[in-house]
Structure 1
């Protein structure tokens, strides 16, 4: 993967779902919304000093959110951070940089 550019969209993996599960409490706190469903659908990534993941997440009732998650380099020994999110998304909305 080229540093700086966004990767093509890929189907979510177990690793991506685990990341989404880890930042779910951060999303619920920031959005003031509890989500019964929080299922990763697809993702794009961007190499920086770590990796930024843009993930489309189904939250139920045909509603989707896009999450921007930062995963630090392993040697940093830091946890993942929800940098930003977008609500009001649909299944057809493309993941883009935000």
Structure 2
């Protein structure tokens, strides 16, 4: 594996399905929450929600399924997981989930996603 490059695609494992289902938050949502000041000038805490409802809200869709089928990884200052998820019938999405290094905050973060994908669409860096 080349540092910074994507691995070859592999079938999703139970661990990858768990990452897809994990309680993560969108970077965009986190930034909005951090800018919002709560009572007495304290910062609001980012809202952590499961990824599926976040994607449904952002994409204005309701997904019948949410099954990770394939993934690639990218080693950066942590690991980016690029996951192909079947969301019903012949519909797929690609999502990018970042996991920090063990000595850092290792919260999983959904950093990007792509909709309108098919089974044959290759997972690429985005």
TM-score, reference length from structure 1: 0.89
**Residue number in structure 2 paired with 1:6:** 6
Structure 2 residues not aligned, in runs of 5+: 23-50
Report what 1:72 is aligned to: 100
Deviation at 1:76, TM superposition (A): 1.6
Coordinate RMSD, CA, aligned? 1.4
Structure-1 residue corresponding to 2:19: 19
Length, aligned pairs only = 98
- Residue 41 of structure 1 aligns with which residue? 69
User: 1:38-95 deviations in whole A, cap 9, x for unaligned?
Assistant: 1001001000111001110000021000001101112223310111000000001011
Instruction: Specify which of 93, 112, 119 is matched with residue 84 of structure 1.
Output: 112
Cα contact 1:26–1:82 (8 A) shared by 2: no
TM-score (norm 2): 0.71
Q: Deviations over 1:9-46 (max 9, x none)?
A: 00001110000011334433433433231100100100
Gaps of at least 5 residues in structure 1 are: none
User: Residue 94 of structure 1 aligns with which residue?
Assistant: 122
In 2, Cα distance between equivalents of 1:19 and 1:4: 20
Which aligned segments of 4 or more residues in structure 1 are displaced greater than 3 angstroms? none
